[in-house]
Amino acid sequence: MARPYICLLALPAVLLLGIAIISRSQGLRGEKHPSAPRIPSQFSQEERFTMKEALKGAIQIPTVSFSPKELNTTALAEFREYIRKVFPTLFKTSFIQHEIVGEYSHLFTIHGSDPSLQPYMLIAHIDVVPAPEEGWDVPPFSGLERDGFIYGRGTLDNKNSLMGILQALELLLIRNYVPQRSFFIALGHDEEVSGINGAQKMSALLQARGVHLAFIVDEGSFILEDIIPNLKNPFAMVSVTEKGSINLMLQVNMTPGHSSVPPKETSIGILAAAVSRLEQTPMPNMFADGPVMTALQELADEFSFPTNLVLSNLWLFRPLVSRLLERSFVTNALVRTTVALTMFNAGVKANVIAPVAQALVNFRIHPAQTVQEVLKLAKDIVADDRVQFHVLYAFDPPPVSPFDDQALGYQLLRQTIRSVFPEVNHVVPGICVGNTDSRHFLNLTSAIYLFNPVYINSQGFLTLHGLNEKISVQAYEMQVKFIFEFIQNADTDPRPDPHVHEL
């Protein structure tokens, strides 16, 4: 996941309306197309050993993205050979087409037997953020196993997904599985630094081929454990949107002069006051317009008194809860567009009035707002025409993907979570605070879900892009099992038949 990595509690609203107008029917749609016998997700000792060794090997290849222009292309080339070596069946299967895009990204097309079913896509990324050795218990690219955990950069972000997807498919193919529904696997190589040469090129290629996807599943959220104080059980969060972003450069120009006869205001003073106003004036709280609200309502019964009462009566307690969420900087990021002052440059000499002062401000846009709206608000807050606004980079938050009863991707995820992790009582929609490669595929689908089938707690969050990133061997096996089940589930259709009104 690109920085900032946290895809936290973004708990979107359930479209109760959607649920209300659909009458439940007994049968699943998928049962209308009888499918091949289900392949059980049971793996032999030898397969389990091979799968964890394959993950370790992937961690050992330092596919680091240092900056948009500086990727370890030697490692990326090595990785290309590596996946061929560890997943031989996948590469020799006749109904799977493999293409290299942008030199190092991989696009697999798995042709299903039933062309009437709309295809879907699984996304993961090859690159990782840098990991200086200092502070790690084991070297970050060693892939060492300790106390049941595999350590290393990429064990959670995101080689676990990447290897998990290919591993699950390899194991299915060994068991002679042939999918009914076609799907794509897109593995980008520059996700951590934009996705412009990987994901974006794969998307363009598929757009040129006229592909439309039923849905996409990418990294993003997790099964959350011990993240919200007082919440009794773990719950799964499937993010249905992510935040937008703006890199805005503010600039003040002035005629240079001597510091012995200073003007009343300097470029530095004017700019400092402007950025200070931006920092001190929060963007509006969008709690009521976002996913967070209804997901909290869904989770209400998981809390003890009085939180359960408060969350089940948000019609009354909404102002209270929205203010409480503002208090922690983590939950604050879920309810509003955030403003971060990240760079400030001015001055050339101790006795010269700076001719130019520049500051860089990074906004992360709440899904209920747009780039234009945020820029307008920022201009009103700065309220000084001497401060120029230069947008360096900006994108709107993607639309919220559907998560009602008729949302195929969401329902397939829900079904698979329920069967693979029966202890998880709630699957709630969320907002991802970071960004993923999936946003490059918006033209191909209106249903993008961000979910990594792995447990994570608050400590685990700190390891993403941080020290001692690790995954337990058992968690990785569960990840492979999840994808193994998910791919098979995607051949059926878990949605209830929509109620058809007879006229």
Catalytic residues: 127, 191
Binding segment for ligand NAG (CB under 6 A), chosen from 25-33, 203-211, 276-284, 362-370, is 203-211
Give φ, ψ of 257 to 5 degrees: -150, 180
CB of 443 to ligand NAG, least distance (A): 4
Nearer to ligand NAG, 73 or 474 (CB): 73
CB 247 within 8 A of CB 438: no
Binding segment for ligand NAG (CB under 6 A), chosen from 56-64, 209-217, 285-293, 486-494, is 56-64
Return the half-sphere exposure (C-beta side, CA atoms, 13 A cut-off) of residue 50.
Answer: 13
CB of 415 to ligand NAG, least distance (A): 30
The residue assigned the tokens 């969401």 is: 410
User: First-to-last CA distance in the chain?
Assistant: 49
Cα-to-chain-centroid distance, residue 131: 20
Q: DSSP state, 162? A: H
Query: Could you tell me the strand order of the sheet in which 470-472 lies?
Result: 145-146, 149-151, 470-472
Q: Which two tokens stand for residue 162?
A: 């990447």
Q: How many CB atoms lie within 10 A of CB 99?
A: 11
State the Cα–Cα distance between residues 95 and 178, nearest whole angstrom: 9
Nearer to ligand NAG, 75 or 333 (CB): 75
Nearer to ligand NAG, 70 or 114 (CB): 70
Binding mask 363-382 for ligand NAG (x = CB under 6 A): --------------------
Nearer to ligand NAG, 440 or 470 (CB): 440
Among 189, 201, 440, 470, binds ligand NAG (CB under 6 A): 440
Residues in 129-148 that interact with ligand NAG by CB under 6 A: none
CB of 4 to ligand NAG, least distance (A): 22
Using DSSP's 3-state secondary structure scheme, residue 39 falls into: coil
Taking CB under 6 A as the rule, does residue 203 contact ligand NAG? yes
Nearer to ligand NAG, 438 or 468 (CB): 438
Contacts with 405 (C-beta within 8 Å, 6 or more apart), sequence order: 18, 19, 22, 411, 495, 496
CB 188 within 8 A of CB 151: no
Nearer to ligand NAG, 52 or 440 (CB): 440
Binding residues for ligand NAG, total number by CB under 6 A: 12
Taking CB under 6 A as the rule, does residue 448 contact ligand NAG? no
How far, in Å, are 1, 178, 234, 247, 329 from residue 284 at the CA level? 26, 51, 30, 19, 15
The amino acid sitting at 99 is E
Nearer to ligand NAG, 64 or 274 (CB): 64
The residue assigned the tokens 């879920």 is: 334
CB of 60 to ligand NAG, least distance (A): 9
Residues in 59-78 that interact with ligand NAG by CB under 6 A: 61-62, 64, 72, 74-75, 78
State the Cα–Cα distance between residues 178 and 36, nearest whole angstrom: 9
Using DSSP's 3-state secondary structure scheme, residue 311 falls into: helix
State the Cα–Cα distance between residues 168 and 295, nearest whole angstrom: 31
CB of 189 to ligand NAG, least distance (A): 13
Taking CB under 6 A as the rule, does residue 443 contact ligand NAG? yes
Contacts with 10 (C-beta within 8 Å, 6 or more apart), sequence order: 221, 237, 239, 241, 290, 291, 292, 295, 334, 429, 430, 431, 432, 433
Taking CB under 6 A as the rule, does residue 159 contact ligand NAG? no
Binding mask 77-106 for ligand NAG (x = CB under 6 A): -x----------------------------
Residue 258's beta-bridge partner residues? 352
Taking CB under 6 A as the rule, does residue 195 contact ligand NAG? no
Nearer to ligand NAG, 61 or 464 (CB): 61
CB of 67 to ligand NAG, least distance (A): 12
CB of 121 to ligand NAG, least distance (A): 14
CB of 203 to ligand NAG, least distance (A): 5
Binding segment for ligand NAG (CB under 6 A), chosen from 4-12, 200-208, 244-252, 342-350, is 200-208
CB 281 within 8 A of CB 381: yes
Residues that bind ligand NAG (CB under 6 A): 61-62, 64, 72, 74-75, 78, 203-204, 207, 440, 443
